[in-house]
Amino acid sequence: MGTFVLVHGAWHGGWCWNRMRVPLQEKGHTVFTPTLTGLGDRVHLANPDVNLTTHIQDILHVLEYEDLHDVVLVGHSYGGMVITGVADQARERIKQLVYLDAFLPEHGQSMQDIRNIQQETTLDDQWRVPPMPYHMQDTNLFGVTNPADIAWIRPRITMQPIQTLTQQLSLTRSDPHPRRSYILASDNANSSFPKIAARLQEDPHWQVYRLIGGHDVMVTRPQELADLLDTIG
């Protein structure tokens, strides 16, 4: 069966895939859910020097040290920045890229470029960025509306080192990975992701899927997402 490496988004950690691991493993897949440096259970490693390159190296090291090949590499949200950089450097290890409600950066772009994140959003120390207010509502946390799920997520959210959002992605290859899929999970018209999915729907090089369940669909619909990834992979 397949090997999945699931890369979380900003302010999250490997914990956000907890409900996904068993459903994918029960289908016979090997599943890795690393936490990026300075976030989640690795928040103690946060410092002003952590940047996008750091996070790309995190995943490259998982592929290398676990000796992984034919990997289905999944990136959620900001994780799209990371897996794009990983695929640029380790294409021979990757079977397919899956962007889950994720951003699709081009060479020379940063998350700040894509989302217009302003310096004023940082904490007083000027190097940590809290989640944007619209992500942290009492009744809608990253697209999650169930109160029990919100109570589980909220204490696990951590600040994001700002250089992960401001460093521009540097790509060395001009040809993208030949196997790319996009899963749309957000149905909010103000979100960037429906626009991305609509654009890719017209591109024959992409397979586009819909699993509407809110941005953190791995929390709200883990079994259905596992089923879809099993089909894609």
pLDDT for 54-84, tens place per residue? Answer: 999 999 999 999 999 999 999 999 999 999 9
- pLDDT cut 90: percent of the chain above it: 88
- pLDDT band at residue 119, thresholds of 50, 70 and 90? low
Task: Enter the DSSP assignment of 167.
Answer: S
Q: Is the pLDDT of residue 117 over 70?
A: no
- pLDDT cut 70: percent of the chain above it: 97
Question: Cα torsion for 203, 183, 28, 30, to the nearest 10°?
Answer: 90
Mapped onto helix, strand or coil, the DSSP state of residue 209 is: strand
Q: What is the CATH number of the domain that holds 11?
A: 3.40.50.1820
Instruction: Count the domains in the chain.
Output: 1
Task: Enter the DSSP assignment of 35.
Answer: P
* 77 noted as active-site residue: yes
Q: What is the pLDDT of residue 176?
A: 87
Active-site pick, 77, 110, 181, 186: 77
Residue 147 CB neighbour total at 10 angstroms: 11
Q: Is the pLDDT of residue 100 over 80?
A: yes
Q: What is the pLDDT of residue 1?
A: 84
- Residues in Cβ contact with 57 at an 8 Å cutoff, skipping those fewer than 6 apart: none
Is the CB of residue 102 less than 8 Å from the CB of residue 34?
Answer: no
210 forms beta bridges with: 184
Q: Is the pLDDT of residue 45 over 90?
A: yes
DSSP 60-111: HHHHHHTT--SEEEEEETTHHHHHHHHHHH-GGGEEEEEEES-----TT--H
User: Residue 62 is part of which domain span?
Assistant: 3-232
pLDDT for 124-133, tens place per residue? Answer: 788 999 998 8
Q: Is the pLDDT of residue 211 over 70?
A: yes
